[in-house]
Chain A
């Protein structure tokens, strides 16, 4: 052979840049988690390993409240978004194109295209008025806003799952005289379940992570965990916030890992 054999796929230097990218992606997170176990009062001096800041964070009333509020909002918003998205997905998949189909599709996905800050201030304007008119200041506004931006995230995996599903089983059930509701409950729903679970988890994580919209929609004393952290970052930062962030991070990563494996089993 005239030419030396070499791996046609490799490009010089690309491997090094890739490793640098991975280091860049993980160095800050690892640092953050490591310093959450720092015993000292300072963010930068290492004072030995300790769980002290985790205890302090867990005993902090404001942190407890914010964590509960985040959880309640994420659970309600993700549940409502998943139900609405499942229904919408059924209405927009596995059908011949009909008038309004692409309109629905664009409408449901529109919140993804609008910059978060724009949605946030628009909601601020509207909800400020509604708060005055109705006198209601509860968590409803946050839940409603979260549900709206969670819908596209729940919709996408459910729709994808539905599109990949074979219709013959449902047709077989109908041929065996199952009424439509029974076909849905006994055949469609179980087949769709992985998509629904994936959609719910995605919506849950998205709601849990939201900072901007919550910051503008919340009334006084309605901090979620991210808005509480944002507020703290402006003041003197203690390692407590490292501990909160680390715990939060572990929760998100756990959820995403489960999500990843659910999706992988499917394909």
Chain B
């Protein structure tokens, strides 16, 4: 007869097997249609470019990575910085940072406002934030287009009020992309901010006032440090999709104000330079990874700081 320990061991073994069997379908699907292709793309970034798109799989080449930042002059072979790519990279990073700051400026007071409502009404306000969040991104982008077009609501309103005489052209500028991104990603800032403010202990605020701190001092010295995890989480949640935004710049920026995602698409389409497209994609992922690492470092530090 098997000993009790033997039975327990076998039981544990069969449990482990069941757990792996149960998770196998999810792991398999995620692998073949999400993670596996990333490795293929990584490999593509080190291959020579094919003549009509695609790659030459038997030729190792660093050209893809080379052209992310540099370009070789076709006449005299001099190597210079790839201005076109760098300007698009810079636009992506800059617009993403401004979007993050703008959503923070709007989202912080909004989240604070919701968190200080009575418990019953709070849920309704949060629900009002979630509705636009779950509305199709393309539809929201299109809705923003309706607002900022030359004949759109904004210009019509401003002209009717007599603020301006002629419509301000916003569409197909960086402003249009910025407005679109702020509008689309705003809920991503408000929700984590609200989550951390909801837990805020207002007795600490009261204590601050009792010790004769002014409103600004209370905000800066008490509220801001306590909700910092929410600020960091919201900023990351807005910054990452902004950096990879594809639909918003395509619809609101027209063909000329590209961001990283559009540049990547271009390499797989008209550019017919798949290794470069693959290298740019990996570069985008690395940027996202850096942002995540900053977040994780911040989260662990503030976590240990507050006990």
Binding site for B on A (CB under 8 A): 8-15, 17-18, 20-22, 24-29, 31-32, 35, 43-44, 80-81, 83-85, 87-88, 90-92, 95, 98, 100, 104, 107-108, 110-111, 113-126, 128, 144-145, 147-149, 151, 155, 205, 208-209, 211-212, 216, 226, 229-230, 233, 241-242, 245, 248-249, 252-253, 255-256, 260, 264
Looking at chain B, what size class is its interface with the partner chain? 35 or more
Instruction: Please give, as numbers and ranges, the residues of chain B lying within 8 Å of A85 by CB-CB distance.
Output: 26
Q: State the 4 A-B residue pairs at the shortest beta-carbon distance, nearest first.
A: A115-B244, A18-B113, A122-B37, A28-B143
The answer to whether A119 and B16 touch (CB under 8 A), given A35-B146, A226-B136, is no
Instruction: Please give, as numbers and ranges, the residues of chain A lying within 8 Å of B134 by CB-CB distance.
Output: 205, 252-253, 255-256
Whether B65 sits at the interface, judged by CB under 8 Å, is no
**Cβ of B241 to closest chain A Cβ, rounded Å:** 7
Which residue from A44, A125, A241, A256 sits with its C-beta under 8 Å from B149? A44
**B113 near A15 (CB under 8 angstroms)?**
yes
**Cβ of B300 to closest chain A Cβ, rounded Å:** 16
Instruction: Please give, as numbers and ranges, the residues of chain B lying within 8 Å of A249 by CB-CB distance.
Output: 135-136, 139
Whether B226 sits at the interface, judged by CB under 8 Å, is no
Whether B159 sits at the interface, judged by CB under 8 Å, is no
Within 8 A of A (CB), among B18-68: 18-20, 22-23, 25-27, 29-38, 40-41, 44, 54
Whether B190 sits at the interface, judged by CB under 8 Å, is yes
Whether B170 sits at the interface, judged by CB under 8 Å, is no
**Cβ of A111 to closest chain B Cβ, rounded Å:** 4
The answer to whether A121 and B135 touch (CB under 8 A), given A44-B151, A91-B19, A111-B34, is no
**Cβ of A112 to closest chain B Cβ, rounded Å:** 10
CA distance A211 to B135 in the complex (A): 13
Instruction: Please give, as numbers and ranges, the residues of chain B lying within 8 Å of A108 by CB-CB distance.
Output: 23, 26-27, 30
Looking at A84, A122, A205, the one whose CB has the most chain B CB atoms below 10 A away is A122
The answer to whether A115 and B41 touch (CB under 8 A), given A8-B209, A18-B109, A252-B134, is no
**B128 near A233 (CB under 8 angstroms)?**
no
**Cβ of B72 to closest chain A Cβ, rounded Å:** 24
**A229 near B37 (CB under 8 angstroms)?**
no
**A125 near B44 (CB under 8 angstroms)?**
yes
Q: Which of B1-9, B74-82, B227-235, B260-268 contacts A (4 or more CB under 8 A)?
A: B260-268
**Cβ of B94 to closest chain A Cβ, rounded Å:** 17
Q: Main SS of the interface on chain B?
A: helix
CA distance A11 to B234 in the complex (A): 21
Instruction: Please give, as numbers and ranges, the residues of chain B lying within 8 Å of A147 by CB-CB distance.
Output: 29, 33
Instruction: Please give, as numbers and ranges, the residues of chain A lying within 8 Å of B26 by CB-CB distance.
Output: 84-85, 87-88, 108, 151, 155
**Cβ of A102 to closest chain B Cβ, rounded Å:** 12
**Cβ of B51 to closest chain A Cβ, rounded Å:** 16
The answer to whether A117 and B136 touch (CB under 8 A), given A91-B22, A98-B19, is no
Within 8 A of A (CB), among B128-160: 128-132, 134-140, 142-147, 149, 151-153, 156
Instruction: Please give, as numbers and ranges, the residues of chain A lying within 8 Å of B145 by CB-CB distance.
Output: 233
The answer to whether A83 and B244 touch (CB under 8 A), given A17-B110, A95-B19, A205-B134, is no
**B27 near A107 (CB under 8 angstroms)?**
yes
CA distance A22 to B209 in the complex (A): 30
**B139 near A149 (CB under 8 angstroms)?**
no
Instruction: Please give, as numbers and ranges, the residues of chain A lying within 8 Å of B278 by CB-CB distance.
Output: 121, 125
Instruction: Please give, as numbers and ranges, the residues of chain B lying within 8 Å of A230 by CB-CB distance.
Output: 138, 247, 250-251
CA distance A148 to B29 in the complex (A): 6
Whether B195 sits at the interface, judged by CB under 8 Å, is no
Looking at B110, B202, B250, the one whose CB has the most chain A CB atoms below 10 A away is B110
**B135 near A252 (CB under 8 angstroms)?**
yes
Write 18 A-B pairs (CB below 8 A) sorted by A numbering: A8-B206, A25-B186, A28-B140, A28-B146, A28-B183, A88-B25, A92-B23, A107-B30, A114-B285, A119-B38, A126-B40, A144-B29, A148-B33, A209-B138, A211-B136, A211-B138, A226-B138, A245-B142
**Cβ of B181 to closest chain A Cβ, rounded Å:** 13
Instruction: Please give, as numbers and ranges, the residues of chain A lying within 8 Å of B98 by CB-CB distance.
Output: none
Instruction: Please give, as numbers and ranges, the residues of chain A lying within 8 Å of B187 by CB-CB distance.
Output: 25
Looking at B183, B243, B244, the one whose CB has the most chain A CB atoms below 10 A away is B244
CA distance A226 to B136 in the complex (A): 8
**B38 near A24 (CB under 8 angstroms)?**
no
**Cβ of B169 to closest chain A Cβ, rounded Å:** 15
CA distance A122 to B139 in the complex (A): 25
CA distance A233 to B138 in the complex (A): 10
**Cβ of B227 to closest chain A Cβ, rounded Å:** 12
Instruction: Please give, as numbers and ranges, the residues of chain A lying within 8 Å of B54 by CB-CB distance.
Output: 128
